[in-house]
Structures are given as structure tokens and as C-alpha cells.
Structure 1
Amino acid sequence: MESAELLLTELVTNALQHTGSHGFFHVRAELRGSLCRIEVNDGSAERPKLREATLSDESGRGLLLVDAISHSWGVSKDGATTWATLVSDEPAVEPDTDFVCERALSISPDANAAAAARVAARTQLAIMSWPGPHNVAVDVLYVLVRNAVEHGLAEGSAGRKLDVWLRINARGELLVDVQDHTCDFPRFEQAVRGELGRGLWGAQRLGAVLSWFPAGHGKTVRAILQPGPVDL
């Protein structure tokens, strides 16, 4: 919460510098799973730039702080909106359950699991007629299944398969769910940042919003993909 408040403060301060003390700006905050996204639109076409402040400067460190504490940040193509995201290690409390279509896959957690999931998902996505980029979806699924095989198999789970779901919600988003056999996800934020490997970081760079939550006797790692182009 403190990090989110600090991000909001710095983004609003940046907006005030662009619009002046009497300018208007719009703030939007959204929590999706374990990811919080904050956006501030100041209506200015001047793109904010990250710069190094000197010891004598009284300002200019705002975006340096944003860069340091955020999971990712950026500026919209028109320069008017600056956004930043934070990822929490805590599981999502209320995962999305409003589905209009879903397909289940049962994958054996062996060396061929990720490749098998990719092939099966191509067929299911075609049947589901999801309008988003299928190649991105199967690549994200490949990452989640590989991650589950490498890190989500508990002792004594031999013979148990990975449960994989492809779901479309009422907003047309595709939810890729992979349930493994362990109940927690330590250092989830570091994994998404790419500090523990490139897998989940790569899925996030493909436009996936990642989260995790307890499910059954294990946990589910979820990736949400938009039905259209994603602004990275």
C-alpha cells in the first residue's frame, strides 16, 4: 500500500509540473489479481523523461523513484498518460469467475508438458473463437506450464496431472489458468520482474497480467490477455 501511495504521489506531482497548479488531470487505479496499475493523464503531449538529478536540484527525482519502486512504467503514445504497475507477492483474493466459455486440458507434468499444452491450446482457441492473438496465448501458456513443471510439483504428487483451463470472461479477455501441486508462490514479484529467470517476465512482456491464488490442494497461476492489441 505504501508503495502504491508513493507511486501515485510521484505521478500526480509529475502531472502538476506539466499542467500547472490550476491544471486538470485524471487518475485511474486498477487492481487485477496481484497487479496494481496506476495511470495519470495530464492532457499534455510533452512526454516526461527520466533524468539524473544533481545534488543541488530541488526536483527532478520523481520518475527516478517511479522507476526504482515500480514493476514497470511507461508513457502512452500520445504522451498524455504516464502509468506504473506494482506486483504483490500476496495471492489474489477474489479471482475472476465470470466466464462465458471455458475449455479444460489435462497435461502430464513431464519434459514434453509445455509443448503438448501449446499444441492442444491452438485447437481449443480456434474452437472457442477467441478474437485475440492465438500465438501470444499459446506462448504464455507454454511459459506457465513449464514454470509449473519446474517449480510446482510437490513430493508425493507422482501421477497427478496439471489442470489447465482456457477461459473467456464477459469482457472478452482470455484467462489462462495452470494449477500445480504446491500451495504458495514465494518471491512471485521477483519472478515476474525477471530476477529469478526470464519465463514469467517474458509472459508479462507479451501483455499478460499475471497473478496467483490458492486452488484445491495447490495453487493456480493465471495470465489474463486482452482480446485486442496490448499497449506495452
Structure 2
Amino acid sequence: VSVAVAPSLADADVSDVTSTALTATVASHVNDDVRADLEHLPAVSYWENTPEAYRELATDAGYDETGISERREAIALEAYYQSYKDKRELVADLLFGDDEETDRPVNGDLAAHVSEQFRAKLDTGLETAQENLTTESVDGISVAVLDTAAFTHRYNFPTTTLLLDALHRREREDDSFVTLGLGDDELHVRATESLNVRDLGDAIAEAAPDAGVHVVGGQDGHIEFLPGERDAVRQAALDALDATLA
């Protein structure tokens, strides 16, 4: 049986709900026996602005801020390697291995070790990205642009999306800040204000009709375009930002 879960249909505000938080909540309601095993997962899934209710659940389950952060970073790294080699057992150990049947305490060595690797790789990527970031002001909006084709690689960690997330968190400086990751045939956007990528994609497609612009994913997806149309897409994106930011 397939069931679609859409809290937004009940007028619930899901703007800050991660897929992990939603999945853990549904699983807990479907099978109450697993509730105790999942209480820390929602907090682990937030890189920032973790809802206090989720933070308290993780604390009550025995996970402090360090333990939550280490698992978040460790899972991000192993999720990347999962695409090349099965890491399900390691992921399970990172998320669920801390119990009476293991020798590791709740905030044990495994997550700390993997998260240390994550931070080393991410810091290296961020250092390179920051040195090659260009910034400009567009109608009062601060925009940082990174050439992701030159400074990220799909076969290396960190991934484009993860690097842009971290770069945006580090570089944003006011209420109107946008980070653009521009590759040879795709555009990723991060913004401090609400931005529907589908609306931005429509505006770019209208301004650059020969670029073959289309949006992949929902309102938080990314934009793809034809190789060779990079400059036209870049300018169209900059021109459209003011109108598409909420």
C-alpha cells in the first residue's frame, strides 16, 4: 500500500520540516515500538535552527549537542560514499549503535572519528571556494557567485550542494543574501529570504529562451540549462532575483 503524506494539505507550516523529521514522526505513529530508537533523528537532520522540541527529544534520549553534530556530519560523509559502496551497516552503527549491546557510549568514538574526516574535507573545499568567490550587489541584494564547474567535482567530497550550503551559511551577511553555484549546465541557489526555484527558473527561461532552461526538483531544486548558455543564464538569474525573492 502506498500512502502520500502531505502535512501542507492540512495547512500545516512545513517550511522548516526536514524529510528525516517527517519520516521519523510517521514511523513513530505507525509503530510505537520504534519511537525510542528514533527520538534523536529529527535533531540530527538540521544543520541550523533546530526546533527546540527536537533538540529536547535528542537530549532526553542521551545525545548532547556534540553527539548530534558529530552524527550529522558523519552521516553526510557516509551518504556520499554510499553512492559508491554499500555503507548501510556503518550508517546504522552511527545512528543506532549506541546502546547496552555496544561498548560505545552515546557520544562515542565512531561518529567523532568520521565527523573529523568530514570537517577536514569540508574545510579544504570551503577554503578553495572562498578564495574564488565573486560578490556583487544587485538591487540591494548581496550576491555571491561560485564557479562550481571549476571548484567542485561530482566525484569528490564535498558535493556541490553540501559545499554551497556551508558556503552560504558562512558568507551570508545580511537579510538579503544569495549564493549562486554556477556550473557548465546547472545553477544552484541558496538565499536568506524565501525563494521558489521554479519561479526563478521560469524567469530565466523567459529572459534566455535559447538556453533550454528547466528546473529539476521542487521549489528548492536546481536549474539546468544547455552547455554554452552559461553567461546568458548567469545574467538572467541576477536580473530575476529581485522579483523572485519573497
Q: TM-score, normalised on structure 1?
A: 0.25
Q: TM-score, normalised on structure 2?
A: 0.24
User: Greater relative contact order: 1 or 2 (C-alpha under 8 angstroms, separation 6 or more)?
Assistant: 1
Q: Which structure dedicates a bigger proportion of its chain to helix?
A: 2
